[in-house]
Structure 1
Amino acid sequence: MSIGLFELTFVREQTSKRVNRWFKWLAPGLLVKRWLLISITGVFLAGLGISIWIGLTPIYRILSGISDLLGTITRIIPNYISGPLALAIGIFLLFWGQTRTVGSIAEVLKPENNEELVDMLLAHRRLNRGPRIVTVGGGTGLSTLLRGLKEYSANITAIVTVADDGGSSGRLRREIGVLPPGDIRNCVAALADEEKLLTELFQYRFSAGDGLSGHSFGNLFLTAMSDITGDLEQAIAASSKVLAVRGRVLPATLSDVRLWADLEDGRHIEGESNISDAGGKICAVGCIPSTPPALPAAIKAIEEADYIIIGPGSLYTSVIPNLLVPGIRSAIARSTAPRIYVCNIMTQPGETEGYSVSDHIRAIDEICGRRLFDAVVVHGRVPTAQALIRYAQENSHPVFLDREDVTRLGRRIVLANIMHEDPESGYVRHDPQRLAKVLFRWYGGTRGFKFQGFEDS
């Protein structure tokens, strides 16, 4: 008896799931209902056209035969039973045929996972209706942000600095003369659909081999694509198609930019990798050439943006280098879209030692000579004692929120718990999902609506 009940429950559950899956195909925005109706109308008109073309004679005989058949059926089975029964069978056959057709297509198109094709199409429609977002930054901070944003919109443009001159990127820049691909590599991997596998592949570093040791596969891949396509912009576009990237990544400029910084002790430091290693307080920062031309596609993306996000990332070596490009900062300043800055959680030795939230804002305002954003996202909780001790050993501390100074600078404070702390290493980072939710909650508030697909946690 219990086995019979179990089987009955199982059958009901499977039937319910199948029915729900069928009805998903009629969900708003999937554009299935209209095409189904058009298909049925097309079949009817095609049949009518054939009848008219051949002189209508056969259609009278067909209609007469159908009339006689229906009369016979209603004499045997009353019309209040036979009518609904025939209607139900017709609808069932129609949906069954459509389902089998879609199922055949799905076997070819659907990837090797358990996600239903209808769910994939619904997600695709939702993401493509998302706001046009422009993010400005570099380093691991920007790639972390992108991992969260891509769950809410596919219309993302990441504008990335090309001032890196250390590690694998620096070697390729010096030896081959290409623009540094490191930060771009991280962003492309973060926006890819198969992010986990691609991240592992793109971050893979060769540990042996003459000339290969220390290089990452992603850097070599983008360098090769740059040589094949002619420039970094085309290389990124081609790579994004191959890797099914959700959004796009653009360099701020195609110029060979070299950063410099003047320190409080009078030293003049050149090279992005040398600035943070110099260990002094930065008084001024700039680049060579002093006015690199902005990438036209980046300017256009900013002008068309619905939402602009600056940071997170190293203040002087990831965020500000983008703003040293006059065209980029001017386009952001002109934009009427909501603009927000994501402040770092911890200070960075050699760059922002002792900096508060307002110090980060002032540094950006002084470089740009104007106000570029309306609000600032600040983490609202203190890391654990273990993390604080670990960071204190490196002369790094939580960025202090000086509310009054930030308010005097005319910025709205968005305070939230957006931190992820690695229990093993003690490192703290922005949590991609939490940060994205906070950013979209604020964006929805500025636009007076709740963003589709957003759920509060």
Structure 2
Amino acid sequence: MNRWFKWLAPGLFVKRWLLLSAIGVLLTSLGVAIWAKLTPIFYLIQLTSTILETITTVIPNYVSGPIAIICGLMFIFWGQTRTVGSITEALKPGGDEELVDVLIAHRRLYRGPKIVVVGGGTGLSTLLRGLKIYSAHITAIVTVADDGGSSGRLRQEFGVLPPGDIRNCLAALADQEKLLTELFQYRFSAGNGLVGHSFGNLFLTAMSEITGDLERAIAASSEVLAVRGRVLPATLSDVCLWAELEDGRRIEGESNITAANGKIVKMGCTPENPPALPAVLKTIHEADYIIIGPGSLYTSILPNLLVPEITDAIAASTAPRIYVCNIMTQPGETDGYTVADHIRALDNGCGHSLFDAVLVHRKVPSAEALIKYAQVNSHPVFLDREATEELGRRIVLANVMDEDEHTNLVRHNPEKLARVLLRWYSRAHLM
């Protein structure tokens, strides 16, 4: 019975169509009666009246009436059950979920806020995995500056934009996420020219060749993979990152910047001021909520903000904007950085104050994790509260961390992170 009452839930657009169907049946019956000049209808009603009168003479009306009602309700229930079962089987063959539950979830997701997330790397895909539970209107703006590994090889050999971060985001937003992630992350261990390449990178490269550019390739892939939301490259320009270090060195190439192990004082890209994708600017303009990070500060987040049109659009937005700070410092990029240092790097790198608040993890990792990370010169990002508040940012403290029991690796928990971000959005939206 609880399942049937769900069909009466508001917003499913079921009750109005059932009522409309009932009105249609009555109007059709009336039309037939008028067309037939009521003669067959009159005799049918008269026959029915005679039968009912005979029944009530033999069986009292206080017995026959309830029996007829019960039989009628049973037929209605049986018919509707089989109808819904047939529809469910056709739409979700072998699925465990009831059709009404699917409709309710679909309605809730498409009523969710329009969320724009800016970043790259594993941090962005982790966040998307949690956000897709709350809204279907998610757009991930992804950096295309990667030049290492499989992405770098494909970039050199085929002249395509690096697909690595886009691949991770598509997998995270897909309905069949676990299977698709395993498929897209699969790396060939044999084969001439295939060794080291991931299937997802090859898939997107092939799609780019077929459709003509990466934007069309992502759109086509999203349809094929039943992706919930959109993934957009920040720019279609062939961007190469460069960094000036404190010791005077100038390092070119995203993969070389972290490996240089120096303190970054300035970041830029070639060509300078690359144009933004028009769809990216439109999405930012229409956004209800903008999230920056998490991810590598200089090689995943900042490359998106080196596109001036994107930073201008975010700065001009009236939507609530928040930055998700990393839990641990990253060797070669943010050694010794505090929360305020992360914020200053973003403000100075793009020339704008792009967000209103910063989300900081509250709980310290375990002693085992701290020892393991200290061996590679990585430490928890310290919250210097006064300096952060002086930069005009509200601090959102929450426990959003997962720690692997076996490897002691520290990561953001997708569900916890998304829940905290949506809760802050609800409060900020009402202010």
Residue from 403, 407, 410 that aligns with 2:392: 410
- The corresponding residue for 1:128 is 110
What SS does the aligned partner of 2:118 have?
strand
In 1: Cα distance, 2:69 partner to 2:11 partner: 27
Residue 317 of structure 2 is matched in structure 1 by 335
TM-score by length of 2: 0.97
**CA-atom RMSD in angstroms:** 1.4
1:241 aligns with 2:218: no
Q: Using the TM superposition, name which of 310-319 and 58-67 deviates more.
A: 58-67
Q: Which digits, 9 at most, give the CA deviation of each residue in 1:317-366, with x for residues without a partner?
A: 00011111111111111111111100000001111111100111111111
> Is structure 2 residue 348 aligned with structure 1 residue 373?
no
1:295-444 aligned within 5 A:
295-444=277-426
Aligned partner of residue 134 in structure 1, secondary structure: strand
Match of 1:142 among 124, 127, 131: 124
- Residues 33-112 of structure 1 mapped to structure 2, 5 A cutoff: 33-112=15-94
Report the residue type matching 1:101 in the other structure: T
Contact 1:137–1:312 (CA<8 Å) still a contact in 2?
A: yes
Q: Distance in 1 between matches of 2:82 and 2:162?
A: 50
- Identity within the alignment, %: 74
Hey, what's the Cα distance between the residues in 1 that align with 2:319 and 2:401? 26
Q: Which of 207, 231, 234 does residue 189 from structure 2 map onto?
A: 207
Alignment pair present for 1:261 and 2:234: no
SS at 2:101 equivalent: helix
Q: Select which of 186, 205, 213 maps to 1:231.
A: 213
Change (3 A) 1:444 1:85: farther
Assess if the C-alpha contact under 8 Å between 1:131 and 1:307 holds in 2: yes
Distance in 1 (CA, whole Å) between partners of 2:137 and 2:117 is 11
Per the alignment, residue 7 of structure 2 pairs with: 25
CA contact (8 A) 1:22 1:99 kept: no
Q: Which residue of 2 aligns with 1:9?
A: none
* In structure 2, C-alpha distance between the alignment counterparts of 1:192 and 1:353, rounded to whole Å: 34
- Give the structure 1 partner of residue 99 of structure 2: 117
Instruction: Tell me how far apart the structure 1 counterparts of residues 27 and 200 of structure 2 sit (CA, whole Å).
Output: 55
Q: Please report how far the alpha carbon of residue 90 of structure 1 lies from its aligned counterpart in structure 2 after TM superposition.
A: 2.5
* Cα separation, 2, equivalents of 1:284 and 1:277: 16
Partners of 2:140 and 2:71 in 1: CA distance: 52
**1:217-265 alpha-carbon deviations (Å, 9 max, x no partner):** 0000000001111111111111111111111111111111111111111
Partner amino acid, structure 2, of 1:220: L
Shift of 1:94: 2.1
**Where in structure 2 are there 5+ consecutive unaligned residues?**
none
C-alpha contact 1:264 1:281 (8 A) present in aligned 2: yes
Judged with a 3 Å threshold, the aligned counterparts in structure 2 of structure 1 residues 181 and 89 are, in CA distance, closer, same or farther, namely: same
Q: Structure 1: which 5+ residue stretches go unaligned?
A: 1-18, 450-457
Answer yes or no: is the 8 Å Cα contact 1:138–1:183 preserved in 2.
Answer: yes
TM-score (norm 1): 0.92
Bigger mean CA offset, 432-441 vs 102-111: 102-111
Q: Which moved more, 1:253-262 or 1:48-57?
A: 48-57
Equivalent position of 1:11 in the other structure: none
- 3-state SS of paired residue (2:372): helix
